[in-house]
Amino acid sequence: MQQKRSRRSRRHRRPMPPWLPLIPTVLLAAGVGLYYGATDGFYVPSESMEPTLQKGDQFRAEVWHSLQKGPKRGQIWVLHNPRPLDDNGPYLVKRVVGLPGEKIAVAKGKLLIDGKPLEETYVREPIKYTISPVKLGPDDYWLLGDNRNNSQDSHTWGPAKRSGLMGRAFVLYWPFEHFKWL
């Protein structure tokens, strides 16, 4: 009886499709393509994003999909440095706080969007400078470092154009003890 079962099970086995072993290879290739094609690696060049990001932290930024969708308030973005000859290098890492068409101001230690204070849990301390109201154009974004009083950002060089934005930071991966989704 044992022999009959084994013969029967061999007869009913279906042959493995020839493409089945290719699935892991295709998935690996897609993952590598997304990692190197749709994202890019960056490091934090200064203390301007503390406490969220530390100087020297390394992270990945979406450089294709996020540019299609555009920035949203609160997201951390990489942008071309408007002053590339300063000590920060060719790009900066800042948080988007102002969107096209909004009026930005800073008064009494608070960032104001269209006259209303923006609730910000990620900033290190109250802002020590003031900014008269600035109306953002249709292609303008206001980007600030989380360490507001120690950051070269839109409060020093004005609004950033969308064409100067490189991608949205989405994962901090090094050093590993700082790992987090952004």
- Catalytic annotation, residues: 48, 94
Q: What is the DSSP string of 16-74?
A: PPTTTTHHHHHHHHHHHHIIIIIEEEEE--SSTTTTTS-TT-EEEEE-SHHHHH---TT
Residue tagged 């499709």 (tokens): 17
User: 3-class SS at 115?
Assistant: coil
Q: What is the 3-class SS of 122-152, one letter each residue? A: CCCCCCCCCEEEEECCCCEEEEECCCHHHCC
